[in-house]
Chains A and B, each alone.
Chain A
Amino acid sequence: MNEKLLEIQGLSKFFPGVVALKDVSFDIYRNTVHCIVGENGAGKSTLIKILTGALRRNAGRILYDGKEFSPHSTRDAMNAGMSVLFQELNVVDQLSVEQNLTLGLENSTFGFERKSTRTGQVLEVLRSLDPTIAPQQRVGELSVAQKQVIEITKAISSDSSIIVMDEPTAALSEEEVERLFAIVKNLRHQNVTVIYITHRLAEIFRIGDFVTVLRDGQIIGTRAVSELAGSCASEVESCAELIRMMLGKVVAERYVPSPVDRSQRVLELNHVNSAKLRDVGLELYKGEILGVYGLIGSGKTEIARAIYGLDEVEGEIRVHGRRRRLDNPAAAIASGIAMVPEERRTEGLCTKLSIRENIPVMNMKAIARLGITSRRREKGLARGFIEKVRIVARDEEQKVALLSGGNQQKVVFAKCLNARSAILLLDEPTRGIDVGAKEEIHNIVRELSRGGTSVIVFSSELPEILNLCDRIILLYQGRVKQVLANGSDIDSEKIMHVVTGAGEAGNAS
């Protein structure tokens, strides 16, 4: 009954400057729920993209039902019986439930849809999963959880043997999560194998049969969940072993305390509320490096966006003690706040332009007088930053699009450094960047704080937080759960408990 359905052997994937996956091997058994966990940047997405045909692998092979499997597109993978539930839902809001379920699979005469027995069967499956969804309802009116059910229904009824779910509970309420779990657990009995990608450790124990842990692009191990649970006395300790696997030995070995001036509170958030944030409050002192840590969906980026004026929020934001209305980034910059955004290519840079042209944008006064730019000063500025931040490029005229990820990020940093703000927000500053550049960027941050700049690091990489930050704010589901001071006695496992909600009542079953 439980033979191998997917055999992944020696899978590797490289990007310029980054090893995303290295020699990954594990097996997935038929009709099981196989969880894949790992921190951000561990390689989960890359693995799934290769499995589902969105990316080509560089080495290794995949055996699907014993046969070589090399999908060239998501469509290929789907034809082979693999359905994927992405985080961006693939339903057509403007069509009805029934129309979505039959999309692409209709029986037709002369181009007009004909009801068939298939339709009845699909609706039957839908009813078994969630009887509250009416077939004629417009999908746009359904909740996220219900749209997921529709996608699952479609997958089941198109005879998929594998359903891949990518962080499916990110946007669901607790009730909806329960319903999803019931469905997932049942799928095993319907001849479906589920590959379940998640951050949330508690979920693994709820629905998983097997769990594979990835870290830094490599397999740490694959275990049967029963083994994990059985070998320990309580839930908490099973989590601990898993956490240990995910993080390795996390020691804040590079942490150096910054010179913090606690008499100066440069930034303050009080009772900030929005769609995703619940009563968030924080304080930032001069010269401090503050860390904000949490999993996907915890609200990190929302806080950054609120401070930078991108989102409207309720509550109070004080800069240098004065209450400010930060309506847009220009206002934030004028108040002395600069941000390195999450996506360097789509948010941080104009990739068509050169290094020289990108750097001055946040603070044109550095190269212009009375609105007129000086090419000489601009070149000087660019060269200065190239040296200071150690950007590897032919010269300042090189188009940013051609730089590696790490160097692109350094250009974004240079942009913000040019703004000479008192407060710097860093949103996932070293995501997808090679180790060398990571270290260099961390050193830049430390130097900044030594110079009196106050920094907030929003990151989902715990080692980064522990290496850099003086204080750490832990977020879970939009709430500040705990504020810790960093030090040699910091307990990363306890931190994981807090941010995965493992310590929440009702989440451990």
Chain B
Amino acid sequence: MRAKLSASGLQKLVLLGILVGISLVFSFTTRGFLSIPNWSNILRLSSFVVVTGAGVTLLMIARNIDLSVGSTLALTHVLFAIFCRAGVPVAPAILMTLAAGALIGFLNGVLVVRLRITPFIATLGTLYMLRGFTLIITGAKSVRENLPKAFSLLGRGSLGPLPVPMLVILVVLVLFILLERKSLLGKYAIAIGGNPLAAELSGINVKRIVWGLFIIVGILAGLSGVLIASWMGVAEPNIGSGFEFDVIIAVVLGGTSLAGGEGSVLGMLIGALIVEVIGNGLNQMNVLSFYQSVLKGVILVLAVLLDQNLKVRLRRAAAGEAVSRERA
């Protein structure tokens, strides 16, 4: 008899509870914390992490990781500004930026899938390569002159009461929750992360799927790049360091295991909101961003710890009825 509430459902409720709890706490320390303009801001600011996080969730479910998303964000957002400044209309500029993101994802795929370098190291390498590249093409200067008005539309505009970024989040979220739960891509990601050998033997083309996931992450990071450039109104080549960190925290907080096999896009959303709410609340209390940096480090370690601790406990329980591992 299966209980209505699964373990993962319970986890999401707990996360939601944490989010609500923290928000309530801040509502006491800051006036207007629970107001619409503040929350509109929170949603707008968390959009960058959420959009990229949707793809990274799937990637991490499949037992991979991408540390280069911050540098991808930086590079793509600079490219977007450059395209617009060069006179390319906004819509095609966006498409070109997304294509650049896809290319970056392809490159990561080459390193991880083709050359079989550990994802941690491979994407660490691209992190530096892309960062360097970004600095080179901008000469370390921000791109701010001659940007068309439409440039900021995405980031700062609103459709009625809803900030445009929030609509983007909505579309991406709906798409990726569907992918995660209902599509073959989601199912195969779980299989690859949960038991790669079984996935292989079932005929799943593991290489193609992992490669595809890296490309998807690249495209989403590109989209985040467009959003952030548009929101800032300029392109700053130094942004994004630490972004990969924010994304991973959101994903892990949301219930994705570093070991792969399980995770949740919805959970990632709540995780990202928690991090953003904490940041927002602390900002309004005039707490320095440096404390926040420290706090983020602590949260990451705690989240991973919780994840691993749970796993160890589950594994020990399962060991009681282990299959005999003596070989013939």
Contacts and interface: CB of A to CB of B under 8 A. Distances in A.
A95 B190 contact: yes
B2 A297 contact: no
**A interface, size bucket:** 35 or more
A443 interface: no
Interface in B183-213: 183-185, 187, 190-191, 193-195, 197-204
Interface in A412-454: none
A509 interface: no
Interface in A104-145: 104-106, 108, 111-113, 134, 136-137, 143-144
Interface stretch (A86-94, A180-188, A240-248, A353-361): A86-94
B194 A92 contact: yes
B324 A297 contact: yes
Contact of A94 (B178, B197, B261): B261
Interface in A51-93: 74-75, 78, 87-93
A134 B2 contact: yes
Contact of B184 (A106, A171, A197, A296): A106
Most A-side CB within 10 Å, residue of B2, B178, B202, B320: B202
A71 to B, nearest CB: 13
Contacts of B326: 170, 296-297, 300-301, 342
Contacts of A91: 195, 198
B246 interface: no
Interface in A382-412: none
Interface string A272-311: 0001100000000000000000001100110000000000
A112 B261 contact: no
A104 B201 CA distance: 9
Given A99-B187, A104-B202, A90 B195 contact: yes
B18 to A, nearest CB: 24
B319 A75 contact: no
B285 to A, nearest CB: 41
B51 to A, nearest CB: 20
B262 interface: yes
B10 interface: no
Contacts of B325: 87
A167 interface: yes
Contacts of B204: 103-104
B199 to A, nearest CB: 7
Contact of B185 (A111, A166, A300, A342): A111
B187 A95 contact: yes
A91 B325 CA distance: 17
B145 interface: no
B328 interface: yes
Contacts, number: 98
A507 interface: no
A275 B202 contact: no
Nearest to B187: A99
B322 A171 contact: yes
B323 interface: yes
A194 to B, nearest CB: 18
Given A91-B195, A95-B187, A103 B202 contact: yes
Interface in B275-328: 319-328
Contacts of A104: 199, 202-204
Contact of A171 (B185, B191, B198, B323): B323
Contacts of A40: 328
Nearest to A43: B328
B182 interface: yes
Contacts of A34: none
A166 B187 CA distance: 28
A89 B194 CA distance: 12
Given A75-B201, A111-B184, A111-B185, A296 B319 contact: no
A200 interface: no
A137 B203 contact: no
B328 A166 contact: yes
Contact of B262 (A78, A89, A94, A197): A94
A179 B203 CA distance: 29
Contact of B190 (A94, A106, A171): A94
Interface in B43-84: none
Contacts of B185: 111
A215 interface: no
B319 A44 contact: no
A45 interface: yes
Interface string A151-193: 0000000000000001100110000000000000000000000
B80 to A, nearest CB: 29
Nearest to A44: B328
A112 B182 contact: yes
A296 B187 contact: no
B328 A113 contact: no
A171 B319 CA distance: 12
A91 B195 CA distance: 7
A241 to B, nearest CB: 23
Contact of B183 (A112, A137, A143): A112
Contacts of A300: 326
A103 B187 contact: yes
B194 A136 contact: no
Contacts of B261: 92-94
A42 to B, nearest CB: 9
Contacts of A105: 202-203
A78 B194 CA distance: 21
A271 to B, nearest CB: 19
Nearest to B196: A92
Contacts of B187: 95, 99, 103, 106, 113
Interface string A250-276: 000000000000000000000000011
A167 B328 contact: yes
B183 A111 contact: yes
A6 B321 CA distance: 36
A84 B32 CA distance: 63
Nearest to A297: B324
B34 to A, nearest CB: 37
A85 to B, nearest CB: 11
Given A90-B198, A137-B2, A296 B324 contact: yes
Contacts of A297: 324, 326
Contacts of A87: 323-325
Contacts of A90: 195, 197-198, 201
A92 B194 CA distance: 6
A166 B323 CA distance: 13
Contacts of A144: 321, 323
A143 B326 CA distance: 19
Given A93-B195, A95-B187, A103-B191, A296 B328 contact: yes
29 contacts: A45-B328, A74-B201, A75-B200, A78-B203, A87-B324, A87-B325, A90-B201, A91-B195, A92-B261, A93-B194, A93-B195, A94-B190, A94-B261, A94-B262, A95-B190, A95-B191, A99-B187, A103-B191, A103-B204, A104-B199, A104-B204, A106-B184, A113-B182, A134-B2, A166-B328, A171-B323, A275-B319, A296-B326, A296-B327
Cβ-closest 3 pairs across A and B: A104-B202, A104-B203, A90-B198
Interface of B: 2, 178, 182-185, 187, 190-191, 193-195, 197-204, 261-262, 319-328
